[in-house]
């Protein structure tokens, strides 16, 4: 019978013959002695022509003038017909001139075997899926944990000044008065900070001011005023922010620190707004003209991207050059060439902005923005809500 995949049962019989016989003898006996027992439609020949019985297999061995073996009959009939054929073959009592005895071993339900194979395979699929999901969950948990883990105070410069690890990587650094202030900033999630440790400005801070933008956050007392004067005499500081009158920075809470810096950014934003109004009559810059295609592309990608915790990198022609889980984004992005735009199912953080800028990304669109410090002038940031997608 062709390999049609419709075999339902395998009828297995054992036999023993008093003499030496061949396979052809056994087949002849089976067909000959069962023919006509139940009418022409039940003959094995007719059943084979209609593919209800497959190719009958005979396994035998002759030893000491006896032949023993097994008959396997594949059938695609109902179980009643299979049992009837089994009983008919069991009635065979001669093979050639030799006496013979046939007995039914079992009728194997091929579908049951197949069902078991399918179930076993399904269990493997579920186990692999569960393992993958668990692994992804662990990666997400690790990412969240790492993002909230408090950074440690490091030493900066030849004076070993207390500082946060962001002092090396950020373009903007906050100057505070002492170690307690640095610890407070780290608790607020702000790592680009270094302490002056006194009213005399350290040489390392003066050198730092030649390479980075500096904003001083000082106590709201006489000591803070003295340090402000000292800074003004020896170096350039972009902005001086004081704690509320009579309070020291270390007396504030992390939320107070964030609000204090946020108020400073609002003032800066108001200044930028006035500059923007003054420039409205000027011709648009070339990269502004490219904004609309990016918006259209984002609206196209959003339905399939939303809720996936994935990020997509696009090149200048808005062709996809990378797609990664957001837990791997910073690492994978730095190994991607030609990325110009980042559209992702996550929160825009300062670390992400800095990493994206390093690889040449000019536009970032996410669900929302976190607390951001300095944003490079050639990097634009937006949210899905800005585009009316949420």
Kindly tell me the sign of the dihedral angle through the C-alpha atoms of 227, 233, 235, 238: positive
Q: Are residues 323 and 363 in the same domain?
A: yes
Q: Does residue 131 lie in a domain region? A: no
Return the closest-CA partner of residue 101 out of 12, 15, 11, 13: 15
Instruction: Tell me which of 179-188, 262-271, 326-335 is least confident.
Output: 262-271
Q: End-to-end alpha-carbon separation of the chain, Å?
A: 61
Q: Are residues 82 and 176 in the same domain?
A: no
**Residue 72 in this model has a pLDDT that exceeds 90:** yes
The three-point CA angle 316-321-327 to 5° equals 120
* Domain final residue, candidates 279, 307, 340: 279
Q: Are residues 241 and 260 in the same domain?
A: yes
Q: Are residues 266 and 204 in the same domain?
A: yes
Which CATH number belongs to the domain containing residue 242 in this structure? 3.40.1360.10
Q: Are residues 158 and 275 in the same domain?
A: yes
What pLDDT was estimated at residue 286? 38
| Total number of domains constituting the chain | 3
Q: 342, 356 in Cβ contact below 8 A? A: yes
Q: Are residues 13 and 84 in the same domain?
A: yes
Q: Which residues of 30-147 form beta strands (DSSP E)?
A: 57-63, 66-75, 94-95, 98-109
Range of the domain at 324: 286-383
Nearest 5°: phi and psi at 11? -90, 120
**What tokens does 9 get?**
């049962």
* Domain final residue, candidates 245, 279, 313: 279
**What tokens does 351 get?**
């670390």
Q: Does residue 127 lie in a domain region? A: no
**Residue 102 in this model has a pLDDT that exceeds 70:** yes
* Between residues 16 and 142, the one the model is more confident about: 16
Q: Are residues 323 and 221 in the same domain?
A: no
Q: Are residues 271 and 358 in the same domain?
A: no
Q: Does residue 121 lie in a domain region? A: no
Backbone conformation region of residue 215, classed left if phi is above 0, alpha if psi is from -120 to 50, else beta: beta
**What tokens does 17 get?**
């013959």
**What tokens does 274 get?**
């006035």
Q: Does residue 55 lie in a domain region? A: yes
Helix, strand or coil for residue 145? helix
Nearest 5°: phi and psi at 277? -65, -35
Q: Tens of pLDDT along 294-318?
A: 888 888 898 888 888 889 999 988 9
What pLDDT was estimated at residue 265? 58
| Average pLDDT of the residues in 93-99 | 90
**Residue 70 confidence class, pLDDT cut points 50, 70, 90:** very high
The three-point CA angle 83-89-94 to 5° equals 165
Q: Are residues 299 and 267 in the same domain?
A: no
Helix, strand or coil for residue 162? strand
CA atoms within 13 A on the CB side of 317: 2
Q: Does residue 123 lie in a domain region? A: no
Q: Are residues 187 and 237 in the same domain?
A: yes
Which CATH number belongs to the domain containing residue 18 in this structure? 3.30.70.2690
* Domain final residue, candidates 53, 83, 112: 112
User: How deeply is 351 buried, as exposed, middle or buried, from its count of CB atoms within 10 A (0-12, 13-18, 19+)?
Assistant: middle
Q: Does residue 138 lie in a domain region? A: no
| Average pLDDT of the residues in 203-213 | 91
Distance CA 104, CA 34 (A): 15
Which CATH number belongs to the domain containing residue 370 in this structure? 3.40.140.20
Q: Are residues 249 and 337 in the same domain?
A: no
Q: Does residue 29 lie in a domain region? A: yes
Q: Are residues 249 and 292 in the same domain?
A: no
Q: Which residues pair with 74 in a beta bridge?
A: 10
Q: Does residue 4 lie in a domain region? A: no
**Residue 342 in this model has a pLDDT that exceeds 90:** yes
């Amino acid at each position: 019978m062709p390999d049609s995949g419709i075999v339902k049962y395998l009828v297995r019989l054992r036999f023993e013959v008093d003499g030496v016989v061949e396979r052809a003898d056994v087949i002849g006996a089976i067909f000959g002695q069962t023919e006509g027992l139940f009418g022409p439609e039940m003959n094995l020949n007719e059943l084979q022509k209609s593919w209800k019985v497959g190719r009958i297999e005979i396994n035998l061995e002759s030893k000491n003038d006896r032949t023993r073996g097994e008959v396997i009959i594949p059938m695609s009939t109902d179980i009643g017909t299979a049992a009837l054929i089994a009983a008919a073959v069991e009635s065979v009592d001669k093979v050639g001139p030799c006496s013979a005895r046939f007995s039914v071993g079992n009728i194997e339900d091929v579908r049951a075997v197949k069902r078991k194979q399918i179930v076993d395979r399904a269990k493997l699929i579920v186990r692999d899926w569960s393992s993958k999901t668990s692994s992804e969950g662990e990666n997400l948990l690790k990412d969240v944990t790492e993002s909230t883990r408090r950074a440690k105070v490091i030493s900066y410069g030849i004076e070993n000044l207390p500082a946060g690890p962001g002092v090396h990587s950020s373009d903007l650094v906050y100057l505070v008065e002492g170690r307690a202030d640095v610890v407070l900033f780290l608790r607020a999630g702000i790592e680009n900070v270094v302490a002056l440790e006194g009213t005399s400005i350290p040489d390392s801070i003066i050198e730092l001011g030649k390479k980075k933008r500096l904003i001083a956050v000082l106590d709201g007392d006489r000591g803070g005023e003295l340090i402000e004067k000292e800074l003004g005499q020896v170096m350039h500081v972009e902005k001086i922010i004081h704690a509320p009158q009579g309070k020291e920075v270390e007396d504030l809470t992390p939320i107070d620190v964030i609000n204090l810096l946020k108020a400073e950014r609002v003032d800066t934003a108001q200044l930028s707004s006035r500059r923007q109004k003054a420039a409205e009559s000027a011709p648009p810059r070339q990269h502004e003209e490219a904004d609309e295609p990016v918006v259209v592309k984002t609206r196209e990608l959003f339905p399939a991207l939303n809720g996936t915790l994935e990020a997509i990198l696009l090149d200048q022609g808005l062709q996809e050059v990378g797609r990664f889980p957001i837990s791997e984004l910073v690492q994978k992005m730095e190994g991607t060439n030609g990325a110009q735009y980042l559209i992702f199912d996550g929160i825009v953080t300062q670390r992400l902005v800095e990493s994206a800028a390093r690889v040449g990304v000019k536009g970032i669109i996410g669900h929302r923005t976190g607390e951001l410090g300095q944003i490079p002038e050639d990097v634009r940031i937006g949210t899905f809500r800005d585009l009316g997608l949420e």
